[in-house]
Amino acid sequence: MSNPAPEPDFLTSEERALAASFLDLGHVILPVERPDLLARMRALIAAAAAAHLGLPAPSDDGGFLDTIHQRVDGGGLNGLRLAVIEAVGRESWFRPAYYALARQALGHLVGNEMAMQRRLGLSVQLPGDASSLLPVHADVWDGDSAYEVVAWLPLVDCFATKSMYILPLDKDRAVQARLADFAQGSAEDLYRAVEGDARFLDVPFGSILLFTQTAMHGNRINLEPSTRWSMNCRFKSLLSPYADKRLGEFFEPITIRPATRMGMDYRLPGGFDG
């Protein structure tokens, strides 16, 4: 006798498992869906960084990025970052490739009609450098929509202080409920209060972190001997509420389905009462 077929349900078991994990922790870490594209993306970035420094494209992209602090110091860092981000912006395939790294997971977590951040973020953190740190924050406190998911992509192995930290949702919500108690203090005071619960995420190259920026997160001085390179990009359901970061400015629609396009374009005829 064969087993009876399972009851039909609206969500697949895969969707259910990913949702449960995201809603429980506020983040998930997954293997990228297109390692081939990830390799191309990193090669472009390594070549752009090398060109900015007057060097030939490296043969070992990961090793080159990991050791970039041997070739640039804190003073040259922002120029390097901007040159790389500009090179990325010139490649029209780069954002579709970024999306393709987590297409299925974003479909499960966000939706199948999405808006994507137009300009990708790039973070480079040299060992011991305190100049580009992000103190503990939730982006939603400062003009982002609560409906966003951040896709955070390591270009080298990121772990411990070379990575970012985030609070698990239960701890985060408990602190946010009494955030007024911290209003007089500094961001560092707030960090001290949550430090014990902060999880520095282990996100090796080849994986991608999807997190809610409604949970407190940030980074600390990179105490590892190698340089952190990561990108970040926000995705949201196209028709979900927007905050300060508007559709058409900060966000661009990437997957409008035909029924939505039909609805957006349709105008009711005037002067006709049925």
Ligand X SMILES: O=C(O)CCC(=O)C(=O)O
Which residues of the shown chain bind Fe ion in the complex (CB under 5 A)?
139, 213
CA distance 25 to 204: 19
Asked if 255 is part of the footprint of ligand X (rule: CB under 6 A), the reply reads no
CA distance 99 to 91: 14
CB of 211 to Fe ion, least distance (A): 9
CB of 57 to ligand X, least distance (A): 26
Q: Which of 47, 50, 151, 164 binds ligand X (CB under 6 A)?
A: 164
CA distances from 10 to 13, 14, 79 (A): 10, 12, 49
Asked if 219 is part of the footprint of ligand X (rule: CB under 6 A), the reply reads yes
CB of 258 to ligand X, least distance (A): 32
Q: What angle (nearest 5°) sits at the alpha carbon of residue 153, between those of residues 149 and 154?
A: 145
Contacts (CB under 6 A) with ligand X, residues 111-140: 123, 134, 139
Strand partners, 228: 125
Q: Which does 219 bind (CB under 5 to 8 A by kind): Fe ion, ligand X, none?
A: ligand X
CA distance 39 to 155: 9
Asked if 77 is part of the footprint of ligand X (rule: CB under 6 A), the reply reads no
Q: Which does 51 bind (CB under 5 to 8 A by kind): ligand X, Fe ion, none?
A: none
Pick the closer one to ligand X by CB: 173 or 260. 173
Tokens of 178: 């009494």
CB of 164 to Fe ion, least distance (A): 8
CB of 1 to Fe ion, least distance (A): 54
Instruction: Give Cβ neighbours of residue 266 (< 8 Å, ≥ 6 apart).
Output: none
Is-contact 155 45, C-beta < 8 A?
yes
8-state DSSP, 273: -
Residues that bind ligand X (CB under 6 A): 123, 134, 139, 150, 152, 164, 213, 217, 219, 230, 232
